[in-house]
Structure 1
Amino acid sequence: MVHRPDTLTALLSLLTDLQASTGKVTDWVKPGDTSGEFKRQVSSFRDWISRDPNAKYPAEAGRYHLYVSYACPWACRTLIARKLKGLEDIISYSVVHWHLGEGGWRFVSKDEDVPGENVIPDPIKGHEGFTHLKDIYFESEKNYDGRYTVPVLFDKKTNRIVSNESSEILRMLGTEFDDMLDEKYRAIQLYPEDLQKQIEEVHEWQYGGINNGVYKSGFATTSEAYERNVVALFEALDRAEKHLSEQQGPYWFGDKISEVDIRLFVTIIRFDPVYVQHFKCNIRDIRSGYPALHKWMRNLYWNDPAFKDTTQFDHIKWHYTRSHTQINPFSITPVGPLPHILPLEEDVTAAQKK
């Protein structure tokens, strides 16, 4: 059955579109905010999938669906975890169109040919009339007035959003479905008990300094805000470089992959193709300025399909350069850097150790 919004929902949707036309959805610094600072919205849906069969949202195969964007680093965290943990047959997913317009993320139409796996119209039964991600939000909460962000973890049984907080979805995928996984996937512990304190400490400085730091630099509307945040970003990158240069093994914690590798990778893989030029994060690039980070990133990309297969450079570059018209009004997408990522065995000559 095609979902038909009631009158109130339709009016709310229309109001949202009108607000968006004045910049609500794509206005990254609120009008009149003289600080010039980008402030990330706090996620609104914070329920939890649990391995407890009596929980509100118990871990069940086939019950949950991920809505993601290949362009979005926060969403790609969850795609990487889904593949790393062997959840492909347990949690379905679909990908929105790469363009973020005034109405928010939209689904592709049936006749559109967009690269990438599962870039499809909304596949959920009952959503045949849904054209935008916001339809999912209004289905769950008629009075919702926030941003329509990805990722969205959706419960097909109750037709409600479980969570739109990427860090919590990442943790759920990493722990709560283990009872139904083969041993080789249960053995992959992204938040192991013996590293939890260290993981939280790393998240504390990497989130503000790096993951969100690129956005605070790129969306700043005053020179003061930009310079303050871009300097803090590169101080955090220097800190990450120092750690990895002293670390033995391919991962942040040596021979143990963890949440830290996933959360940092999705930002670093976008750095040279997008953030250097588009967000003016150009004090240094990764490939010539951070040899340890560069090696760590390429190891994940080339040696683990969970990272490579969920990285779509076309979506990444098109989204940023053609959605953020306040930054790039002519929507011209730079050709470089070429290649988008260097082979594992090849370094930039100037960055090689002497």
Structure 2
Amino acid sequence: MTRTLADLTTLRVGGPASRMIEASSEKEIVETVAAADAAGEPLLVLGGGSNVLISDAGFPGVVVRDTRREIAVESEDACGGAAFSVTAGMPWDDVVLRAVTEGWTGIEALSGIPGSTGATPVQNVGAYGQEVGDVVAMVRTWDRQEQRFRTLARGELGLGYRTSILKESLHRDGGWHPTPRYVVLSVMFQMRLATRSTPIRYPELARTLGVEVGERVESAEVRAAVLELRSGKGMVLDGDDHDTWSAGSFFTNPVLPEDAELPEGAPRFPAGDGYVKSSAAWLIQHAGFERGFRLDGAAASLSTKHVLALTNRGAASAEDLLALARTVRDGVRDTFGITLVPEPVLVGLTL
């Protein structure tokens, strides 16, 4: 069994784990998590490894990987749509492909996103005008604090832009980092039955499809267009392309009070509740960081396709990536007074 965490993450950095468990059942996952917590052993529940940056020293505890790959259809009819449950370890893009194939609409624009299904409600993963929160019905979890199973309905998840109570519990209730208080075991989705997509919300996707914002097209066409767009930005995994040796977007788009001063020309989108959202990529580029930017002698750089991705050019260390992230963060802060927040979970590291 592979013991080096670099082999299990899309950034391809990270040292060894003290102990690794590949769990093939819910029972095994829960028993491993509960035993680690009872013993005070550090715990890292690792999904697809696509949203994590792990120390070169590795992880001094138990790493648990969910190897289950199951989709269970609970119901499917014209009135109620499709209701189906997915185990946390299922690769997310396999779920999207199944939905498009079956005529379950609502996640076709989330094609090509790496990682596991269990991570999607934690981050409330979103892209090209869709979010997982649009179609999540409930999430089955193991509550590490109360030592019991807990099913959280959509309204209890606190879903927002790249956040949820699942993610917030990394740092609340005494601090559970780097694994949240709530360990996701499976996710229940509810989607409409249709071969056509939900209304296209994202202008770039609409232009690629040759339609107006608000129109619907075949979901398979949306999936193909999104995969094309993501590939052009180095956001579809390819072992031969170092631009895909990344954690995707390293910084979240800043959400600011609506009266906040933004530089002239910076994107400004309503975010609700008196807030607006801008573009981290715009701020990075206009602070002077171009695609491919790297520090002298470092094996990490911004993607040559997209400034929002920090990439491993083949031999980068975690410290190389952190140094690059700090340089970009500080450059944006010094230029615009806005501090960007990293999206990946940092394990054994601080920015």
TM-score by length of 1: 0.32
Higher strand fraction: Structure 1 or Structure 2? 2
The structure carrying a bigger helix percent of its residues is 1
Structure number with higher relative contact order (C-alpha < 8 Å, ≥ 6 residues apart): 1
